[in-house]
A and B are shown apart, each in its own frame.
Chain A
Amino acid sequence: LGSDLTTLGLNLNSSKSLYSTFSSPWADGPSKSEPQFQIPACYYM
């Protein structure tokens, strides 16, 4: 019967991307370290 996928520690209703706080396939919740972010090259002076 599979399993209840809502109990895997991912907020499937989130309006934001899950990948930015995805720390590991075996973590029970989002990463506590800073999320993934991209700084465009033009931000560097």
Chain B
Amino acid sequence: RVDPPGAREQVTLLLEHWIKIWNDAGGVEQKCVQYLTILQHQNVLKTDESTEVFLRIAAEVCVEFCVKSGAKAEGSDLPTLNYKVIDAFASMLTILVKYASADPQSLTSRVHLLNRILGTLHRVLVADSEGPRGARPMAFDQRPYFRVFANLLRDLTAPDPVVDANNLQVLGAFANAFHGLQPQSVPAFAFSWLELISHRTFMPTLLLAKPAQKGWMLMHRLLVDLFVFMEPYLRRSQLPLAIKTLYKGTLRVLLVLLHDFPEFLCDYHFSFCDVIPPNCIQLRNLFLSAFPRTMRLPDPFTPNLKVDLLPEIAQPPRILSNYVAALSYNGIRQELDNYLKNRAPKSFLEWLPGRLRASPSQAASGSASYNVASINALVVYIGSQSILQLQKSPQNTAIGHLPTMDVFQHLVTTLDAEGRYYLFNAIANQLRYPNNHTHYFSCVLLYLFAEVTVENSEVVQEQITRVLLERLIVHRPHPWGLLITFIELIKNPRYNFWAKEFTHCAQEIERVFESVARSCM
């Protein structure tokens, strides 16, 4: 970009003037508002273009000053930054939002200016991180930008009579800005980004804002952004240090969500499972072990626990993720609905496994040769249809008699080992807190274990066992539904579990089973 002649000097002078006013005001906002008259007098905010030029150059000048004036810290090659100018700059932006928008008493007007400011900061940050001509220099310092955003978050989410209870608009502006700065777009800002989206003036406020689902949608999108970035690296067995560090921070954020906002994790569990690689078992368990705060989970180790008599298992879980989308995308939904209604044509069952294969581009990217999202969606959709059918059918209708079980059984017998693994994973992903999905899918998994009719059925039984076991042997937390399903499998003589060859195939495996069984029984 070519700045208008003299623009940089003018903006620098204006900034110096602002810093003096800000220092003299001692933090009293009203005393700073006089500065707006100076800006108006110089036509700085007269047009969108002049506003953009002012904001951009001001951001560049302040960041440059901050980085250059850092003091060398002992034992570190990175200078400790002095934030006086950055803090003053952020305060100026706050004053602009509150008092300089077209109609300061209008929240919409304020948010419009806030969006403009955040957009400018985004562009300056990206340009800085990429360096001249897209060279992406290694010298980018994320800290001044982090500081500006953190200050803006603190100051603009504080109670204000104009914003009042409608802070979702302000938070939404920040959420959109952070979505634009997501790690996949600006990896050099990823650490700051995670800290900002989990900031205590942002994340909890967004999740507590009314109406609840709008704030939740925005937070959900940001977490998906995070996992979309990390997914290719988490799939590998060895994590680079930077990813390990980012992952550790992610775990902490998720633990705060699990403790303070478990319902949020519950209601979006489906889409989170979609973006986590299958090998991240503890991470997935974190999502799946969330349960509503009002619920008291019965101890899964209670002797003679009658799960089917628990009142909670009659209730459906709330699923806010759009799990039907993946089915509509590859044409499965219509054919599936037809089959579930008419139990015909039989050719549907032959056709289905092929539709679950990954597209050539998905396969080329090195992920599974199956479209795992489609399998996940298919399983949940079948489950919800099945439960509806059971509710309409006479009492004691067995799940094995439903057309939905035809689909499961056919897939079990025709998919290869990899496909079956994803299928069982998708079923096990529904083993969560007591609700009718947990109960249904627990029954499905146990039914498939007991009724598998392929040649060498122990291969399938071993696979079901493996899917459950690998979720149990990792460190806690463990979802309630997972525990009760495994306990049922090993305790109920119907499944004849301990007679299976794979439970004794190797000493290490025997020890693992004994250890898990001991803690279960």
Contacts and interface: CB of A to CB of B under 8 A. Distances in A.
- A and B directly contacting (CB within 8 A): yes
A25 B159 contact: no
Nearest to A39: B159
B354 interface: no
Interface in B183-197: 191, 194-195
Given A22-B200, A38-B159, A8 B251 contact: yes
Contacts of A26: 191, 195, 245, 248-249, 252
Given A22-B198, A36-B201, A3 B475 contact: yes
B203 interface: yes
A39 B286 CA distance: 33
A12 B195 contact: no
Interface stretch (B78-86, B228-236, B255-263, B296-304): B255-263
Interface in A1-45: 1-5, 8-10, 12, 14, 17-20, 22-26, 35-36, 38-41, 44
Contact of A18 (B251, B260, B283, B476): B260
Nearest to B283: A2
B3 interface: no
A8 B477 contact: no
Given A2-B474, A40-B159, A8 B248 contact: yes
A41 B249 CA distance: 34
Contacts of A35: 200
A26 B244 CA distance: 12
Contacts of A25: 194-195, 198, 248-250, 252-253
Nearest to B163: A41
Contacts of B204: 17, 19-20, 36
Contacts of A8: 248, 251-252, 255
B473 interface: yes
Interface string B247-279: 011111101100110000000000000000000
**Residue among B201, B203, B250, B255 having the largest count of chain A Cβ atoms under 10 Å:** B255
Contacts of A1: 282, 473-475
B161 interface: yes
A35 B200 CA distance: 9
**Residue among A1, A2, A4 having the largest count of chain B Cβ atoms under 10 Å:** A2
Contact of B256 (A2, A18, A40): A18
B161 A2 contact: no
Contacts of A22: 198, 200, 252, 256
B501 interface: no
A3 B286 CA distance: 12
Interface residues of B, number: 33
B281 interface: yes
Contacts of B256: 10, 18-19, 22
Interface in B70-113: none
A10 B159 contact: no
A19 B203 contact: yes
Given A19-B204, A40-B159, A5 B251 contact: yes
B164 A41 contact: yes
Contacts of A17: 204, 259-260
B83 to A, nearest CB: 15
B259 A18 contact: yes
**Residue among A14, A22, A35, A44 having the largest count of chain B Cβ atoms under 10 Å:** A22
A19 B200 contact: yes
Nearest to B197: A25
B282 A2 contact: yes
B230 to A, nearest CB: 13
Contacts of B252: 8-10, 22, 25-26
Interface of A: 1-5, 8-10, 12, 14, 17-20, 22-26, 35-36, 38-41, 44
Which 6 pairs show the lowest CB-CB distances between chains A and B? A2-B282, A25-B249, A36-B200, A19-B204, A2-B475, A2-B474
Interface of B: 159-161, 164, 191, 194-195, 198, 200-201, 203-204, 245, 248-253, 255-256, 259-260, 281-283, 285-286, 473-477
20 contacts: A1-B473, A2-B285, A2-B475, A3-B251, A3-B282, A5-B282, A5-B286, A8-B248, A10-B255, A18-B255, A18-B259, A19-B204, A22-B256, A24-B249, A25-B195, A26-B248, A36-B204, A38-B159, A40-B159, A44-B159
